[in-house]
A = this chain, B = another copy of it.
Amino acid sequence: MTQMTGPIDHDIVGEVPPAPPGPIAAVEPARARSAAEEARTLVATQRIGALATLSDDGRPWASIVTYGATAEGFPVLYVSTLAEHGRNLARDGRASIVVAEDPAGGDPLDSSRVTLVGTANRPEGDELEAARAAHLAALPGADAYGGFGDFSFWVLRVDRIRWVGGYGRMDSADAASYFAAEPDPTANAAPHAIAHMNADHADALLVVAQALGGHPDATSARVVRIDRYGMDLVAESPRGAGTARVGFAETVDAPDGLRAATVAVTRRAREAA
């Protein structure tokens, strides 16, 4: 869980879950993704966001956009001057984009979103080629619009970042830490890993929750989040449903590395049990 440096951000409203029971045994400290890493990961894994621009009367204008992301994490838009947001950017490049995680059947109010604020510019030369490549990598079909003269690439040069991860998980990041952060290479593989662990390895998750997660009285456990640094479990015990963060011994650097990491953490739990 990311440290909260700002005020509690009651961004959106929902049923507030009661505080879960905490661990009752010692747990090793486990690294979690920083707010900057969360933001970079979310921007890298999604392709659709909501853009806020300024209309000619000075009012904000919200619209849906598709985007790709540059190596720096700058969203690249490909918009038409026939669309209101395209006309707005041409007049005033100040813009913001919010990108939200797919709730994927879960609680949409407990899912991750990030707001990026910056100034959009039309890139030129090598920068234009890099922007085009970043956009097409995310949206391969978009080159069908290549022949339309009213379409241009825009790069949103981000200077302010606010990430909200769900209930009680939120933080801001400055531009320098955002650019320095790496998107989690395991992000696209995580949903499958979560489904697989919960479907086929409930016994392993229970041992992990008992031996490493601080819930020795757990009767069942499921994983709710996996990332390159570890996993978040929900452990059922006579005390109720408690949460546990269990770190991997080594940071996962490859997109297909979650399997080895979960096997290793299970072995470590069985040795400690």
Contact = CB atoms under 8 A, between A and B. Distances in A.
Interface of A: 7-16, 48-55, 58-66, 78-80, 82-86, 94-98, 100, 108-109, 113, 115, 117, 139, 141-142, 144-145, 148, 150-151, 162, 164
A95 B96 CA distance: 13
This chain: copies in complex: 2
Given A64-B100, A117-B61, A82 B48 contact: no
Given A9-B83, A10-B150, A13-B78, A54 B65 contact: no
Of A14, A59, A61, the most chain B CB neighbours within 10 A belong to A59
B82 A117 contact: no
Contact of A96 (B61, B100, B115, B164): B61
B54 A98 contact: no
A145 B12 contact: no
Contacts of A78: 13
24 contacts: A9-B80, A9-B82, A10-B79, A10-B83, A10-B86, A10-B150, A11-B63, A11-B64, A11-B85, A12-B65, A13-B66, A13-B139, A13-B141, A13-B145, A13-B151, A50-B50, A50-B62, A50-B64, A52-B62, A60-B117, A62-B62, A62-B97, A62-B115, A64-B164
A63 B151 CA distance: 26
A15 B141 contact: yes
Nearest to A12: B66
Contacts of A11: 63-65, 80, 83, 85
B9 A98 contact: no
B98 A148 contact: no
A151 B109 CA distance: 16
A148 B10 CA distance: 10
A12 B59 CA distance: 21
Q: Which 9 A-B pairs have the closest CB atoms?
A: A15-B141, A50-B50, A10-B80, A52-B52, A52-B60, A52-B62, A62-B98, A62-B96, A13-B142
